[in-house]
Chain A
Amino acid sequence: MSRFLPSFALSVALSLSAWSSASAQTAGGTLNLIVQPEPPTVNVGVNRLGPTTYVGNKIYEGLLTYSADLKPVPRLAESWTVSDDGLVYTFNLRRNVKWHDGEPFTAKDVVFSFEKFLPALQARSRLNLAEVKEIATPDDHTVVFTLKAAFPAFIFVHNTAVLPAHLYEGVTDFRNAEANTKFVGTGPFKFAEWKKGSFIHLVKNPDYWGDGKPYLDDIFFHVIPDANSRAIAFETGKVDVLRAGDVENFDIRRLAELDSVELTEAGWEILQPVGYIHLNNRHKPLDDLRVRQAIAHAIDRQFIIDTIFAGFGHETNGPLSRLSQFKDTAVETKYEYDPAKANALLDEAGLKPDANGVRFEVQLVPLPYGELWQRQAEYTREALAAVGITVNLVATDVPGWFKRLTSFDYDLGQNFVYTTADPAVGISYAYTTIEGDNAGTTGGNVNGYSNAEVDRLLAEAGHENDAEKRRTLYSQAQKIISAEVPQIWTHDIVFPTLYREKVRNLITSGLGTDENFADVWLAK
């Protein structure tokens, strides 16, 4: 009895303080969002495409989430410890958490997801699992990961969903499992209805483990295929939030001028998107450093940010985002917009212009995600034409773009990549040497860049437990990569989010709108 009293008092005190800060929030209301394109599923265990996580992360949860300053925050794990040598991660799971079908959440679910389900369906999870020597569950609410070697990025892989093991008893073919469409999670919202082509409806989970949360009663994700229609839906009040990509950036500027509309640039601190123009290092003359440098000097990246992306973006000269804790701008090579320098470099490389002023021809594969990327491709064509490089734009759709980039069938390729919170699970894939003709996915080493020293630095830094040593290693790697400019980093992307002023706590963590929305409330 005496052991209970202090913890009882503590929990009362905690809930009282929560309640007092919660008195500002009002419960109730329906939030209207847009999801586009319509996802193939909302089961984030099956895939992690953008639209899927936008919806699915409100139904499913992971052990942790992360704050805007990249610190882990408790979610399904109440607390955790990391051993001094960085080899043992112990997670203490929250108690009294129920799945949406009433079954209790236990360590078994965590192990099932991490060890069996996710690696079967997601490449990234496979790589994560490869770092682990063994997983132990001393009791129903503790999971202990022992790694093969120190891997500090490991703390960042735990926002991946935990799936209910009890729905997959005896199942071996995870990809085609019927349980995949049961959408049972632990999150603040339960799946209610999906009218294909129209909307996805989530309802409040009354048994959610967070006291008093969620505040919202329902969330509707409207499916609207046309960008103009999406803007009109927001204008006419049918929809409360617009994410970047729902409408073009210049429309975001226009809509931000409306009454009671707020604009924020926050919410992407974990994903850290960066815009790329890949240069195929395996094709001549792009294998010549001077040619790549020339291209970097020939493109006015500030113009791209200001004119094409309506000012949403920041300059960058290296592989990491400005939001990364390892970003070291001091060691980066700066590539100012300087066509004269570009011309000089190309002359030096022996690529003299012919009678028409053309030095050589390349193919550019644009990113088929929207008009702004097309404008960037068209601008790039202009900019390079000015220094004697003829650019042919390849018309293609998403599967075609993916295929070309990953099989080195391009010269210049547009892309943007989520470089993510830790380089070991982010950009390392992009700059580590690969053999063969298949880069895997567009987040891989699409450039075909190969530098043994960089390989060594990245591999070592990935498994270096000492924070300072890690920083030094990554700085060295950034210095080399920036100097060798295997690709152009066009800009550090800013994805603005527009929302009605009545929507509160929309973005409260580094995951932004990909959060579970347990804290979101609507002011009257």
Chain B
Amino acid sequence: MARPREILSRNPGAAVGVALLAAILLLAVFADLLYPGDPWRMAARPNLPPFSPGYLFGTDMLGRDLAAGIAHGARVTLLIASAVTGLAVAFGVAVGAVAGYFGGRVDDVAMRFTEFFQTIPSFLLTVVIVAIVAPSLTSIILAIAVVSWPQIARVVRAEVLSLAGQDFVRAARVGGLSTPRIIWGHVLPNVLSPVIVAASLMTATVILIESGISFLGLGNRDFVSWGYLLGTGRTAFRVNWWLSTIPGVAIFLTVLSLNLVGDGLNDWLNPRSSGRGKRA
């Protein structure tokens, strides 16, 4: 495997992605220092445009500072994205590994279960869950996780299927290792790379789904995510364009950086598929 620095120099896109992501993470971490207190309190005159003195991104109709909202929103958005990804990966890996390793009837059942969640119109299901259970941090995270895990399960299953037939696994079996040990210690570590790639791309999708839910009016008012900012600013678009444009740009940059990082990871971990290996 090539060293990270080599990858970054060969793949400028990944470099940009990493830099962007780092910047956003820093913003999220230091949000409290930059904008202490409740970001969404009415601190200023309403409807100030961007670059007004003291208010880099302007204010909304209630005089709330958009820059503070973006900084704290970074936290919330990334929190939602990572929580969903974490849950989806945990569940997806479990189901996919079990299906791929045991095969046969177990695989059948697991795959039917997975297919079920992929057949339902997923965005619609998310909207239904959020609307029914009432929008809260927990319900939004769960609702998006519910429709996201199948992708991971499929990837994991495919990898585990091919691995399960290989010699080193057979050797471990013959050697008397318990099944959980085999799966955990031998199979899963090799599944890691496609999962990481899939997870990084999923994080991006989650952010887009969350903003879509807020657009439809189902966002939660108690925490300020970028999707929520985008949603509330939308109807004011013609008078206060910055209220939805700036969160939109923030979402775009984050999703972009995650995609670039995901691609970079793919390059690093699966050099053949990038086309940057040798050509015949």
A and B: direct contact (Cβ < 8 Å)?
A: yes
Interface residues of A (CB under 8 A from B): 227-228, 231, 247-248, 250-251, 254, 307-308, 366, 368, 370-371, 374-375, 377-379, 382, 392-397, 400
State the main secondary structure of chain B at its contact with A.
Answer: loop
Chain B residues in 8 Å Cβ range of A395 = 134-136, 218-222
> Complex: how many Å from CA A307 to CA B234?
18
| A-B contact sample (17 more), CB < 8 A, given A308-B62, A379-B62, A397-B217 | A227-B234, A228-B237, A247-B235, A251-B235, A307-B46, A307-B61, A307-B62, A308-B61, A366-B221, A368-B217, A393-B221, A393-B222, A395-B134, A395-B136, A395-B222, A397-B131, A397-B218
Q: Are B238 and A231 in contact (CB under 8 A)?
A: yes
Q: Which residue of A lies closest to B135 (CB)?
A: A395
Known: A251-B239, A392-B222. A374 touches B135 (CB 8 A): no
- Can you name 20 A-B pairs with beta carbons within 8 Å? A227-B234, A227-B235, A228-B235, A250-B61, A250-B239, A254-B238, A254-B239, A308-B61, A308-B62, A370-B235, A371-B236, A374-B221, A375-B62, A378-B221, A379-B62, A382-B41, A395-B136, A395-B222, A396-B134, A397-B218
Chain B positions 56-104 with a Cβ under 8 Å from a chain A Cβ: 61-62
> Complex: how many Å from CA A379 to CA B219?
18
**B42 within 8 Å of A (CB atoms):** yes
> Complex: how many Å from CA A370 to CA B235?
9
A221 CB, min distance to chain B CBs, angstroms: 21
Chain B residues in 8 Å Cβ range of A397 = 131, 217-218
Report the interface size class on chain B: 20 to 34
Known: A308-B61, A379-B62, A400-B134. A250 touches B236 (CB 8 A): yes
Chain A residues in 8 Å Cβ range of B122 = none
Chain A residues in 8 Å Cβ range of B135 = 395
Q: Which residue of A lies closest to B134 (CB)?
A: A395
What 10 A-B pairs come out closest when comparing CB atoms? Answer: A395-B135, A393-B221, A227-B235, A371-B235, A395-B220, A248-B235, A382-B42, A395-B134, A250-B239, A254-B239
Q: Are B221 and A377 in contact (CB under 8 A)?
A: yes
A469 CB, min distance to chain B CBs, angstroms: 46
> Complex: how many Å from CA A272 to CA B47?
30
> Complex: how many Å from CA A375 to CA B231?
13
> Complex: how many Å from CA A392 to CA B46?
23
Chain B positions 13-49 with a Cβ under 8 Å from a chain A Cβ: 40-42, 46
Known: A228-B234, A397-B131. A375 touches B221 (CB 8 A): no
Interface-central residue, A307, A308, A370, A377, by most chain B CB under 10 Å: A307
**B245 within 8 Å of A (CB atoms):** no
**B232 within 8 Å of A (CB atoms):** yes
Chain B residues in 8 Å Cβ range of A382 = 41-42, 62
> Complex: how many Å from CA A190 to CA B219?
41
Q: Are A375 and B239 in contact (CB under 8 A)?
A: no
Chain A residues in 8 Å Cβ range of B46 = 307
Q: Are A394 and B232 in contact (CB under 8 A)?
A: no
> Complex: how many Å from CA A397 to CA B128?
12
B47 CB, min distance to chain A CBs, angstroms: 9
Chain A residues in 8 Å Cβ range of B234 = 227-228
Question: Of A227, A379, A394, which is within 8 A of B134 by CB?
Answer: A394
Chain A residues in 8 Å Cβ range of B232 = 371, 374
> Complex: how many Å from CA A326 to CA B115?
65
Contact pattern, B 131-145, Cβ under 8 Å of A = 1, otherwise 0: 100111000000000
Chain A residues in 8 Å Cβ range of B61 = 250, 307-308, 375
> Complex: how many Å from CA A375 to CA B221?
10
> Complex: how many Å from CA A375 to CA B42?
11
> Complex: how many Å from CA A377 to CA B221?
10
> Complex: how many Å from CA A368 to CA B219?
12
